[in-house]
Amino acid sequence: MTGPVADALALGFVKFSVDAGVLRFGEFKTKAGRLSPYFFNAGLFDDGAKLQRLAEFYARRILASGITFDMLFGPAYKGITLVAAVSIELARLGRNVPYAYNRKEAKDHGEGGLLVGAPVKGRVLIVDDVMSAGTSVRESIALINAAQGQACGVIIALDRQEKATESGQDVPYSAVQYVQEQLGLQVAAIATLNDLLQYLAMADDPALGGYASAVRQYRQRYGV
């Protein structure tokens, strides 16, 4: 993210995530088997006030990104809550757009099918929390294409800016870069690992500032 407005948005989001206990520091094992000095768990935006504030950050980032879209799509499960909250906030800001989400298993009664919500059509922006391997995005693209829509971009909360893994091996690009370069989608993030490092460098709390070195070392080892 560039420019003073974007930087303020990113740093504000990092602070909010730390205060909410969503962004934590210590030693955590990632899905790729790495020992990370920080962990971001969007599932801990777990009450109305946190979700409302989270939606504000998403909506502001979407509007600032310049991505042209007609509707929103939330991949199950975390994306369901996110897409509903973000659509409400966008409407509050004057941009009322339809949204849809998928089920993990097709419903065989009632309206049936895998998709719920507005008809999937036009340019579809995918709303997710983080991007580890791009698997969720590829699954969402397949669902959107099958419904005759066109995936146009992805909005996530945090870009870890680290190498993805394939078959247990590090590859020289991140999941975000893969989605941008190989799948041809725009990706916008509310904040990045660089923003997190900037926040730690500015922190008044010595305990927080003390994690900066470990996060920098992690970035040097696994960053792209």
β-pairing, 71-74 with 99-107?
parallel
- CA 113 – CA 19 distance, rounded (Å): 40
The maximal CA–CA distance of the chain, rounded, in angstroms, is: 57
Nearest of 159, 143, 161 to residue 151 by alpha carbon: 143
- CA 4 – CA 211 distance, rounded (Å): 25
> Catalytic positions, please?
107, 109
Q: What are phi and psi of 74, to 5 degrees?
A: -115, 115
Residues facing 162 on adjacent strands: 223
Q: Any residues with CB less than 8 A from the CB of 101 and at least 6 apart, and which?
A: 73, 74, 75, 76, 79, 80, 83, 84, 115, 116, 117
For residue 214, give Cα distances in angstroms to 35, 38, 42, 221: 11, 9, 22, 11
Q: Cα 119 to chain center, whole Å?
A: 23
SS3 assignment, position 93:
coil
